[in-house]
Amino acid sequence: MELSLRARIRAGDPDAFGQLFDEHASVVHRHAVRVTGNWSAADDIVSLTYLEAWRLRERVLPDGDSLRPWLLGIATNVLRNTSRAARRHRTALARLPPATPVPDFADEVTQRLADAEELAAAHKALSRLRRGEREVFTLCVWEGLDAASAAEALGVAVGTVRARLSRARKRLRRLTELELDRATGPSGTQRPPATGQIPGSRHQAARSPQEKKR
């Protein structure tokens, strides 16, 4: 009988981890970009997430459907740890004299400028939520997990997920309005967004993929 992917991962099968990477690395990377607002940092988060997944492979439950909640739960813990490390790093850098800025003329920077501005606005609003609300929102709304899967990823009760998500939606909608108002140009007309994290509607960032289909 052919072993399931979960069983192969628990056994430390490298090919199974290759399949796991092919199927979910883009999901983890997208989640990391949305949480950190930084594409380069997201690459590191993906690497650290899969290293942790390998270390914790024996904790994979033998039964279940998609391994996406398990991976996103690991990614959430990695993001917590890297966020703490980044704060310590910024504190240390603040004690140093300012460095001479080095201009970056890469084409990629120009191509992503509009998206980066929009992502920064979304990230700024999101960062003002409580950590629990922020984690539930990113998993349920941006990554499309249902309440049960998000609860599995975070190790909390389903009711806790639902309560945090409700609070997060209300607070994020208000905070996003404030951020967009601050981004309004001097003429009083909001800069038309490109294809970033905050589309034309101010409320779209707080909607789930399922809601956007309706």
Pick the CATH number of 1-96 from 3.30.70.1450, 2.60.40.3950, 2.60.40.10, 1.10.1740.10: 1.10.1740.10
List the chain pLDDT tens, one digit each, 214 residues.
457 899 999 999 999 999 999 999 999 999 999 888 888 889 999 999 999 999 999 999 888 788 999 999 999 999 988 876 555 545 655 665 655 554 444 444 444 545 666 666 677 778 888 889 989 988 998 888 999 999 999 999 999 999 999 998 888 878 777 776 776 555 444 444 443 343 344 444 445 555 544 4
Q: Please enumerate in sequence order all residues whose Cβ is within 8 A of that of 172, keeping only pairs 6 or more positions apart, or say none.
A: 125, 126, 129, 137, 205, 206
Pick the CATH number of 108-208 from 3.90.105.10, 1.10.10.10, 3.30.70.360, 3.20.20.70: 1.10.10.10
**211 neighbors 141 (Cβ within 8 angstroms):** no
**27 neighbors 145 (Cβ within 8 angstroms):** no
Q: What letter does residue 59 receive in the DSSP assignment?
A: G
Can you give the pTM of this predicted structure?
0.57
Domain map of the chain by residue range?
1-96, 108-208
The Cα 96–Cα 4 span in angstroms is 53
